[in-house]
Amino acid sequence: MNIFGKIGIAIGSLIILGLLGLAMTADFIDNYEVGYKFDLRTGKTELIEREGLILTPPFLVKVHTIDLRPMQVCINANSRVLNCKLVQFDKEALETFIEWHGRATYDKYALKNILMSYAYDETNSNYPFLKIIKELNSENKRTIETNPEVLPNDTL
């Protein structure tokens, strides 16, 4: 193999190693997520204010995300829904959540289970990272608004 072949292999190897290093340090934050990074050198957790591609030093900074979309949590018994709530994570209380649950990327199901446990807490405590948007249970009855002009006289 001549010198040009060896140089080509060396440059190709460097490009492949560079791309692998970039892939190890690149994280993506979707528009419906809040991202935060944990620096292993300092132990500091910092909120990431933007979405998109995040580049960090490999092995030194970990990027984690939490889904901000509303989710329905329900209590079921014997294949019947007894009670449901529409809940959402409040990113303003991210630090409190990390203090209580640690830093990690919480997938949809893990976060749903955590928020459900707080949504159905019987002590009626206020949790800053939990927003209860809507509550539906078996006691809530659907009311139908009627127009008395359309109904027959015997129904009034």
The answer, yes or no, to whether residue 150 has pLDDT greater than 60, is: no
Nearest alpha carbon to residue 73 among 7, 33, 10, 117: 117
Residue 12 neighbours by CB distance under 10 Å: 10
Degrees to nearest 5, angle at CA 14 with 40 and 51: 45
pLDDT, tens only, 5-61: 888 888 888 888 777 666 567 889 999 999 999 998 998 999 999 999 998 887 888
Domain ranges of the chain: 28-140
In the β-sheet with 71-77, what is the strand arrangement from edge to edge?
71-77, 80-89, 130-137
pLDDT, tens only, 57-75: 878 888 999 999 999 998 8
Retrieve residue 93's tokens. Answer: 């209380």
Pure H helices in the chain: 3-25, 94-101, 108-119
pLDDT, tens only, 65-121: 999 999 999 888 777 777 889 999 999 999 999 999 988 777 788 899 999 999 998
Task: Reduce the DSSP state of residue 36 to 3 states and report it.
Answer: strand
Retrieve residue 139's tokens. Answer: 């006691």
**pTM of the predicted structure, to 2 decimals:** 0.69
Q: What is the pLDDT of residue 141?
A: 44
Q: How far is CA 92 from CA 10, 71, 125, 140, in A?
A: 49, 18, 18, 31
The amino acid present at 121, given as its one-letter code, is D
